[in-house]
Amino acid sequence: MINDEDAINMARKLAKQLGLGVGISSGANFIGAVFLQNTLEGNIVTIFADDNKKYLSTDLRKTINKDINFVSNQIEFLDYEVV
């Protein structure tokens, strides 16, 4: 289970640090992919199936929450590839 606030925070980080305007479920999806990577060998691929347009009037617009307990704040982006 992924915390809702952590998923929102991950979506914020994806937008601010990588310029990817994704929705809340994509933030959760990314965290889930990170968890999966820790249990499987090889590459993990994920899809961001939504965007942030419908969330522009929600908490998604707030600044990144620096809560050290959030998984999203323990992840450092190194690279990504759009296919």
Split at pLDDT 50, 70, 90, the class of 8 is: very high
The structure tokens 């969330």 sit at 55
User: Given pLDDT bands bounded at 50, 70 and 90, which one contains residue 75?
Assistant: very high
The CATH code that applies to domain 4-74 is: 3.40.50.1100
Residue 68 CA to residue 72 CA, distance in Å, equals 9
Q: What global pTM score does this model have?
A: 0.87
Q: What pLDDT digit, counting tens, does each position of 31-71 carry?
A: 999 999 989 988 888 899 888 888 777 878 888 999 999 99
Please state, for a pLDDT cut of 90, what percent of the chain lies above it.
Answer: 59
